[in-house]
Structure 1
Amino acid sequence: MYRVLFVDDDEAIGFLVARYRIWKTAGFELADFAYNGREALEKLSAGGFDLIITDIRMPVMNGLDLLRCIREKGYPAIVILASTYQDFTYAKEGIRLGAVEYLEKPYSEEKVAEALRLAEDYLGQEREDAPERYWHALLEGEDPAQLADSLFREAQDRYPQDGERMRRDVAGLLEKVYQKMCEQAPWLKVIDKKDFIIGGRPAEEAEEIFKELQWKIKQYGLRSPDVMAVRIARLIEEYLVSDHLQDILAEKLELSKDYIAKLFRGRSGMTISEYTTLLKMEKAKELLRTTNDKVYEIGEALGYSTTDYFTRLFKSCIGCTPAYFRKYSASEEKF
């Protein structure tokens, strides 16, 4: 949910805009109001906002001066300027200063909704770029302590007075950086389940997490990723429960089974059979959590002919029986 600061010297306009239905569905929260640019700056310094919608003509400090101050102080919020058609020359100056859109007054719900859609695209792209930036920094061997410091400073700029949101922001970005790694080494999603779960770790461990990620980059040779190994992993997922999986791989890749097995083990550190089993156990966990299918039905769906064998295999990989997992997984962090 993106937080919006609405700035306009006409209190009645703010009251009207606050009643728009879009705030219930648009993914934006109309978090606060200010009645001139100086008051808006005070609120920006005290709490995190993602979007500022500001009138241009206001007493004390106008919208253009507010925009200049926002950029000078480095606040990460994006700005949409609003004014009448006669002020369009000022609006063009605002766009030059970094405003992302101009909203012509008088306000209407349709105009504000369109402006919010544009802002959402802009904010979404801005957030999507950050994981890519940190991932490349890791590949280039940048210092984990500096990366963690940069990560926290950016989050603090967004949420200067909201420590909980700041920590969630840091943890969310770390998870996305890890997902970037998994794109180049899909097997990490299953072999790291027990010892590297970013989502369950406090954001304060960012430096340690960056160190672990760099270690894995080195361990799996991700500075020069193997496209064929990734393709093998994707095909295993696609044909997970098929009979004669390795024959299918050989046919799809037009390579010998021995070569495929050797290549995959060299990159992932495990055999195709081991990887297949781990994927099936992850699928079994998902089915146990989300369906009422009986244990034997889940085993059969994953290609196991007997319930006893499926149960023994599940316990060996996960550490408990399927029945125990289903009963307690919701309250047990280790699962």
Structure 2
Amino acid sequence: MSLPQRVKLVEVGPRDGLQNERQLVPAAIKIELIERLAAAGLSAIETTSFVSSKWVPQMADNAEVLRAVLASPRRRSQVSYPVLTPNLKGFDAALEAGAQEVAIFAAASETFSQKNINCSIAESLKRFAAVLDAASALEIRVRGYVSCGVACPYEGAVDPAKTARVARQLFEMGCYEVSLGDTIGAGTPASVQRMIEACAALLPIDRLAGHYHDTYGMAIANIYASLELGMAVFDSSIAGLGGCPYAAGATGNVATEDVVYLLQGLDIETGVDMEQLLAAGQFIAGYLGREPASKAARALLARRGAGC
């Protein structure tokens, strides 16, 4: 077994994490969080989502946030700031705000697709084709997500072959990378490896990423299982922000601090400074009025407080 020497982390806290918070977070706080995450060494930070404010009021300030981040004197040129654009209308709005990279998402479950975006998987891919065509003409990179890659809250276990077919379609349509999502956090190392193996049979492993929720406490184990197969890109959320409204008790995305702690222990490079990462987590958790959900963050901060 040979693990990757370097792993890229895609920070999704400012978008996937905060969009599930009931408490509205001001644009200034979001901007400060994003700048702190960039300063910590994260090279890809999902910044916001260009969706209807009626359905996702937390993202109503999307253009304001993106413009401020891109225009900031603290902006780091080596950092990418992708935004979610579920349709051509969202893509056009993102483009007007200065977006240079966008993301789209499809589901591996028909029922989830219908309940989440009110259309079939095939219909969703047709919508995305217009986004990909427009992005290609402007040389804007597009990242793809596959929701419910392991299990669905309505259908139960998802056949890895279904996940692989959707991932391949997104890749063939022009997505430079496809992130495989364990949306309800029901995956285990075995089921996650089966999903990855099915997908890697249809597209290169270096074009695949892992997006694991920690509902059952399996996210870190699933990341290690993915590393064993050569996956070297993972999505994570500062302080464990987020959750899935479709899964009772879902605790959100795997915490960035926990992933960095794992990778440091394996001598795998990330380019992330743990101290600055902890500070970023404290910043947003403090604003939300709670402790970081990250176990590593809590332990490291407690140890620091105890003078160890």
TM class by shorter chain equals under 0.3
**Greater strand share, 1 or 2?**
2
Q: Normalized against structure 2, the TM-score is what? A: 0.27
With a CA cutoff of 8 Å and minimum separation of 6, indicate the structure with the bigger relative contact order. Answer: 2
**Greater helix share, 1 or 2?**
1
